[in-house]
């Protein structure tokens, strides 16, 4: 049974950096695209980024492009999100999620982690 566990959240000052991790188990991690999705307090879900199964293709939401970097280590079954130049509006619960498909086309989020909270505040 697929399981995803996020870590690395916390309180960080504006303009600083933070790296989130997502440990995967219960499925062949190296075969699936992986996403980050966030939910700001009182708001809906917002897609952040996706990486292909092999890490060669990466795509970002408009609000994080140029500041966030998604990456993966298939030898460690781990997904990452490097967040730079953080802003108060990046405050959210960040979820990692497994894509439903195993190709360069992204079908959306089939399995989700429980999330990790990031608070950007001085």
Partner 1 sequence: DIQMTQSPSSLSASVGDRVTITCQASQDIRNYLNWYQHKPGKAPKLLMYDASILEGGVPSRFSGSGSGTDFTFTISSLQPEDFATYYCQQYDNLPLTFGGGTKVQIK
Binding site for partner 1 (CB under 8 A): 35, 37, 44-47, 50, 59-62, 95, 97, 100, 106-115
Between 15 and 54, CB nearer to partner 1: 54
- 56: tokens are 């060669």
- Give the other-Cβ count within 10 Å of 28's Cβ: 12
Between 20 and 97, CB nearer to partner 1: 97
How far is residue 11's CA from residue 15's CA, in Å, rounded to a whole number?
12
Task: Give me the least distance between CB of 89 and partner 1, in Å please.
Answer: 17
Residues shown for the chain: 122
Task: Give me the least distance between CB of 49 and partner 1, in Å please.
Answer: 9
Between 48 and 86, CB nearer to partner 1: 48
Task: Give me the least distance between CB of 18 and partner 1, in Å please.
Answer: 21
Task: Give me the least distance between CB of 110 and partner 1, in Å please.
Answer: 5
How far is residue 104's CA from residue 101's CA, in Å, rounded to a whole number?
8
Between 11 and 45, CB nearer to partner 1: 45
The Cα-based distances of 96 to 13, 14, 15, 68, 122 in angstroms read 23, 23, 23, 14, 26
């Amino acid at each position: 049974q697929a399981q995803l566990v996020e870590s690395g959240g916390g309180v960080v000052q504006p303009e600083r950096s933070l790296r989130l991790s997502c440990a995967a188990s219960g499925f062949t991690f190296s075969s699936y695209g992986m996403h980050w999705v966030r939910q700001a307090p009182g708001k809906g879900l917002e897609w952040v980024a996706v990486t292909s199964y092999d890490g060669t293709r990466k795509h970002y939401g408009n609000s994080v492009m140029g500041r966030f970097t998604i990456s993966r280590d298939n030898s460690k079954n781990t997904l990452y999100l490097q967040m730079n130049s953080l802003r108060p509006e990046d405050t959210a619960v960040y979820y990692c999620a497994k894509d439903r498909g195993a190709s360069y086309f992204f079908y959306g989020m089939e399995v989700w982690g429980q999330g990790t909270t990031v608070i950007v505040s001085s």
